Structure 1
Amino acid sequence: MTVHTGRHFLQIPGPTNIPDRVLRAMDMPGLDHRGPEFAEIGFAVLSGMQRMFKTKQPVIIFPSSGTGAWEAAIVNTLQPGDKVLMCETGQFAVLWRGIADKFKLDVEFIPGDWRHGADLEQIEARLSADKAHKIKAVCVVHNETSTGCVTRPLDVRNIMDRLTHPALLMVDTISGLGSMEYEHDAWGVDVSVAGSQKGLMLPPGLGFNAVSEKALAVAKANPGLRSYWEWEDVMAFNKVGTFPYTPAINLLFGLREAIKMLEEEGMENVFTRHKRHSEATRAAMKVWGLETQCQEQGAHSPALTGVRMPEGHDSDHFRKVVLENFDMSLGTGLNKVKGKLFRIGHIGHFNDLMLMGTLSGVEMGLDLAKVPHRSGGVVAAMDVLKRREQAAVPKAAVA
């Protein structure tokens, strides 16, 4: 048995590190979820999540994982036989498609290589060919957590508007929200899907749907069966600050604190921090001589980096070496890329020194696992971070 001292390094892209302030906020006794004290929390998190999504529209909060929020998006707006357009950008796009299949939707799935965002040309071609407007929804993953590739929802919305196609735009931003720019209203998203355990810095257990007026109208006219996921029921109770069932009370305490922390830092600063850590990580990889999983220029995720292993080397063996020697968890490769890549999470409650510790563990692990690489990646990442720090120091202080 290996004995480790100090804190475990959790560097997967979700669940992410939980701030002590959030843990303390959740450390509360039971509370009457029909009483006035809870209503204060209810109103606070509902309005706070509107600010996170940048929407004036309702945000529905479910006691669920992001998978539940995926299902809620589908069952409120669609019914068996409806045609939807989805894009294979990675494992989470595949899983969302799996839910659509179980609800007997007619899925048109644009294939992808898991190294790029959604194929915008194919989206435009499929929508352009759909003269009868049989496609009822276009579903894309904003930040594909299995690969580290980004699809910009506004690009998809612009295509839909240019073609005047009436389909709903549904976006999975489960690992995007709170870690990179997201604008539900300005980008014309109809249903946004998110979860608590990524950029929002909480444990798993809360799922979110932000919904447009158009999506609400479609849901109201939809005769499809649903109960737990029914938007209308939740929104009716939300008017008095509560929920139609027992909510995840302590997670909502934590959510209130997490929103407060993000807004204290300033959302633009949060997004800049994530971009800087992504840039530093990729600088290290370039020196190591390792490939990023994402191969699309400008589509690298600020939240995580997928790292390809050299031919003949297994990423799960490498992750095992790192875990056993340095008590650090790195994300595994999923499905098609299992054993071929590992993922470095630089998302959520994270700072420069945590990144340097992470990259040091990776570089030492590459040595121990005998993975071919060049040394010096950590120094390259440090140089990226120092450029930012030096720019922030007043000239008089340098002298």
Structure 2
Amino acid sequence: MIPDQRVEGLLRELAPRVLGTLVRRHGQFDACEDAVQEALLAAAVQWPGQGVPDNPRAWLITVASRRLTDQWRSDQARHTREATAAALVPVDEFVAPPADADRAPVEDDTLTLLFLCCHPAITPASQVALTLRAVGGLTTVEIARAFLVPESTMAQRISRAKQRIKSTGIGFSMPPDQERTDRLHVVLHVLYLIFNEGYTTMSGPDLHRSELTSEAIRLTRAVRQLLPDDGEVAGLLALMLLTDARRATRTRPDGTLVPLAEQDRSRWNREFIREGVGLVTEALARAALGPYQLQAAIAAVHAEAARAEDTDWPQILALYELLDRVSQNPMITLNRAVAVAMVKGPQDGLHLLATLDADDRMAGHHRLDAVRAHLLEMAGDLPAARACYQLAARRTTSLPEQRYLTARAARLTTDEA
């Protein structure tokens, strides 16, 4: 019996590659995605008991192709118009897959799929949503939480993106150089969100989902191979590596969250840190400055501190101030408030944090309450800190974060007593 968790991780990794192959061969993005979802469901049911095939990707492609065949045959039976039949790929091409299909090499079309989802004919918001769904494998609920919008809103964005691909007849191919550059900022933002969802899962019992962080890193490496001289691509890859280097130390054996200051830095992934520092150092020296490079530089300062107390907080604050000018974002301001508190004192940090109270994007977000609680604790206002920790715990849907925040509140209650 194959553990369901192992199968789930494998299917998440294979899904975008299978979808890319089907879209390249057959077109009709929406129909291909439906067929892939059915193939994934079949695999989730069969593989735990029967074992994973020798070539699981080819198995999924074959099953999904047959689903397409069945659907198109059904469509042909219902619609006799010759135009409809002519617009479909001939059914005979799918009826009998080659006998060696499970052993045949299959091209990885994930990167092409990534750029397809970021086509300029699709609105920016829908580009990100569709890519997270088709390439990142996130659910609509997870994407909605990442963007701080209702699930229904996100579902509409994804649906509109699929309809736009269908109505405009967007082809499945890599864009020309200039257009590829224009799409790149959306591609990088999507990869950043996929990584973040994997590194700190928005909901559920686990703090992180390594299959998402690994896939985000893999895709970013692929983009860098395509654009080796782009500083922001290098910066994003560096940021991911430097951040993921800490993953093994972020939780205790019982799943309890460990904050950065308390992590065992001797267990950080030194190879990831070496590569990440090298990437960001080179990018900062030769490329135009961008937000991913700056975030990677901040992560590098943390990574190079042997102990938490050795952290160069003035340098981090200077980088955050520059980042805030380059890319204004409430989450950047949130993190800058912590750096301000570490350099100038908690009251200054709390003052900066107060500027986010009127930002609708942060309304009800647990991280605003959690940071405020931390700064209030630093300032010695334990009752107010405890109340904010409790509020943050109620608002998060991540069980490890919830347990951590509740424990912090309980500890303050003991300290007061």
TM-score when normalising by structure 1: 0.24
Decide which structure has greater strand share.
1
- Of structures 1 and 2, the larger Rg is shown by 2
